[in-house]
């Protein structure tokens, strides 16, 4: 009926009027839906919680909805600020990315979604030492390899922050993005990035070449360092914690339980990037994948080369702790699963993978090759080999580990710098906690 009325007008006028009508209808519908969302949210949060468990679940649900809205807001920002043209839009993210974790990967994922190509600038050891007064835990090559192993990253570049200040944003983009600068944008989280009282991205903001993305809350390099250096299991939830951990004192790092809230939205975002099932030779490799690093990336790359589909098994926290003791794993299973999902060589992930690889498991998953590396993330090797059955079947392959880096090496590097790191870690952890509480309007800790 509406289209029939428009046909009575001049074709050009009819087309313009039809577009206006559709735009007005679309805006009105969007506004109505958003108002309904707000109304339903008010009703949902007003319902009383009858137990602490229900309150925790409500908090998780609210966090999931907030993440959905934040993602929608970021998409609207892109439509408003980034004009689409014939050239691919390249996004640029920079950072140290020390002890690269799934929070970094989620930032890469969000930044990549804003354009068509993602370049990640990894600060060099020299620039970090000059800017911060200390070296990263991981070396240049280790951090570069870990970042490049992420499926959301198209390329990496050594990034020197001073370029923005001394040569301007256009020069920086040309250097870091190899000459393509007309439609390039800097991307950073919504947490402040201030050095010596100056906004690092001030020039990018003024040039209209800056976008923000929501920071992945509940995880940071600072928190991971604290977990690793405190010899306790209190960074995990559940039955692994038998009694309260020691409180912070001189020379001892304090670690809190993981504040990361795993939502189905985030899991879908990561698992949705998997290539999906495909016919062919199935390769299986299992492990803890704790503090996912470049050694893991190299092993998974080489394992993938042995077949067509790579399935990675991730062991549960209790299983890892039973076989590795101490305060392992440093990252809980949900955190480790996200890190594995973010690796470009992984086709599928088996959650809570059995410790023993059985004949039934091999048949169910159609496994043709079972892989392990020559370097284990700890010095402990079980006398009862969980790969005995694959060995008997002649399908077990041991690959030489290209990287000497392991979790034990990372832990040793941190412990060697323990006294230097203590005060810096305490200050950084306090700053992150204060920022989080200000952002969400929470009261200060007593």
Q: Over the stretch 218-257, which tens digit does the pLDDT of each residue have?
A: 788 878 887 777 644 444 544 343 333 333 333 332 223 4
Distance CA 305, CA 179 (A): 33
pLDDT at 445 over 70: no
Q: Which residues contact 297 (CB under 8 A, 6 or more apart)?
A: 145, 146, 148, 149, 343, 345
Q: How far is CA 432 from the centre of its chain?
A: 17
> Which distant-in-sequence residues (6+ apart) come within 8 Å of 67 by Cβ?
214, 263, 265, 266
Q: What is the mean pLDDT of residues 320-347?
A: 88
Give the pLDDT mean for 86-98: 84
Averaged pLDDT for residues 145-152: 95
33 CA to centre of own chain: 30
Helix ranges, 293-400 (H): 294-304, 317-324, 333-341, 359-364, 388-393
Q: Measure CA 329 to chain center.
A: 18
Contacts of 152 (CB under 8 A, 6+ apart): 105, 108, 109, 111, 112, 118, 273, 342
- Mean per-residue pLDDT for 200-211? 78
Q: So where are the chain's domains?
A: 1-43, 83-213, 221-258+409-440, 264-405
Q: Does residue 181 register a pLDDT over 60?
A: no
Measure the CA–CA gap between 108 and 87, rounded to whole angstroms.
21
DSSP 369-420: EEEEESS-SSS---SS-TTHHHHHHT-EEEEPPS----HHHHHHHHHHTHHH
DSSP strands (E only) in 264-307: 282-287
The two most distant CA atoms of the chain are separated, in Å, by 85
Is residue 329 reached through a cis peptide bond, with omega within 30 degrees of 0 on the bond before it?
yes
Task: Tell me whether residue 203 is exposed, middle or buried, using C-beta atoms within 10 angstroms of its C-beta: 0 to 12, 13 to 18, 19 or more.
Answer: middle
CA distance 147 to 121: 10
Please answer whether residues 245 and 230 qualify as being in contact, where contact means their C-beta atoms are separated by less than 8 angstroms: yes
Find out if CATH 3.30.365.10 is the number for domain 264-405. no
End-to-end CA distance of the chain: 66
Angle between helices 418-440 and 221-229 (to 10 degrees): 130
pLDDT for the residue 254: 27
**Distances from the Cα of 327 to the Cαs of 219, 241, 275, 399, in angstroms?**
18, 10, 34, 27
Same fold for the pair 83-213 and 264-405: yes
Query: Phi and psi of 56, rounded to 5°?
Result: -65, -40
What pLDDT, on a 0 to 100 scale, did the predictor assign at position 289? Answer: 95
What pLDDT does residue 228 have? Answer: 78
What contacts 84, CB < 8 A, 6 or more positions away? none
Return the H-helix or E-strand segment holding 209. Answer: none
Q: What is the pLDDT of residue 251?
A: 33
Confidence category of residue 359, pLDDT binned at 50, 70, 90? very high
Integer Cα distance of 137 and 224 in angstroms: 12
pLDDT for the residue numbered 15: 57
Residue 148 backbone phi and psi in degrees, to 5: -70, -20
How large is the average pLDDT for residues 274-286? 88
Phi then psi dihedrals of residue 347, to 5 deg: -100, -30
Supply the pLDDT for residue 442.
65
Q: What is the CATH number of domain 83-213?
A: 3.40.50.620
Query: Residue 143: CB partners within 8 Å, gap ≥ 6?
Result: 96, 97, 98, 100, 122, 136, 294
Confidence of residue 378 (pLDDT cuts 50, 70, 90): low
pLDDT at 128: 82
């Amino acid at each position: 009926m509406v289209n029939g009325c428009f046909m009575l007008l001049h074709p050009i006028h009819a087309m313009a009027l039809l577009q206006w009508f559709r735009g007005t209808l679309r805006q009105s519908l969007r506004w109505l839906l958003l108002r309904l969302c707000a109304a339903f949210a008010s009703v949902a949060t007003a319902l009383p919680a009858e137990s602490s468990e229900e309150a925790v679940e409500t908090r998780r649900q609210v966090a999931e909805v907030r993440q959905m809205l934040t993602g929608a807001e970021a998409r609207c920002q892109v439509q408003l600020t980034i004009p689409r043209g014939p050239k691919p839009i390249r996004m640029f993210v920079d950072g140290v990315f020390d002890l690269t974790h799934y929070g970094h990967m989620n930032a890469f994922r969000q930044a990549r979604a804003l354009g068509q190509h993602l370049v990640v600038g990894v600060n060099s050891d020299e620039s970090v030492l000059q800017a911060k007064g200390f070296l990263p835990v991981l070396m240049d090559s280790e951090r570069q390899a870990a970042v490049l192993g992420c499926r959301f990253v198209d390329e990496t570049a050594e990034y020197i922050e001073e370029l923005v200040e001394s040569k301007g944003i256009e020069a920086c983009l040309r250097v870091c993005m190899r000459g393509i600068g007309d439609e390039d944008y800097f991307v950073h989280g919504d947490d402040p990035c201030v050095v010596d009282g100056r906004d690092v991205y001030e020039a990018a903001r003024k040039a209209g070449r800056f976008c923000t993305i929501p920071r992945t809350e509940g995880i940071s390099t600072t928190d991971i360092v604290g977990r690793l250096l405190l010899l306790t299991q209190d960074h995990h939830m559940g039955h692994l914690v038998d009694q309260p951990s020691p409180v912070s004192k001189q020379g001892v790092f304090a670690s809190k339980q993981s504040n990361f809230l795993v939502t189905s939205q985030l899991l879908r975002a990561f698992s949705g990037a998997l290539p999906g099932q495909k016919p062919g030779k199935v390769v299986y490799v299992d492990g803890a994948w704790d503090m996912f690093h470049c050694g893991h990336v190299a092993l998974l790359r080489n394992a993938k080369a042995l077949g067509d589909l790579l399935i990675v098994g991730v062991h549960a926290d209790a299983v890892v702790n039973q076989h590795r003791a101490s305060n392992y794993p440093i990252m809980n299973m949900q955190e480790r699963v996200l890190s594995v999902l973010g690796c470009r060589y992984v086709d599928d992930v088996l959650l809570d993978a059995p410790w023993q690889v059985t004949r039934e498991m091999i048949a169910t998953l159609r496994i043709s090759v079972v892989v392990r590396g020559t370097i284990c993330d700890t010095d402990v090797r079980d006398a009862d080999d969980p790969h005995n059955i694959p060995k008997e079947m002649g399908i077990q392959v041991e690959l030489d580990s290209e990287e000497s880096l392991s979790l034990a090496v990372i832990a040793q590097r941190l412990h060697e710098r323990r006294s230097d790191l203590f005060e810096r870690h305490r200050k950084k952890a306090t700053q992150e906690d204060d920022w989080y509480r200000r952002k969400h309007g929470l009261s200060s800790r007593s």
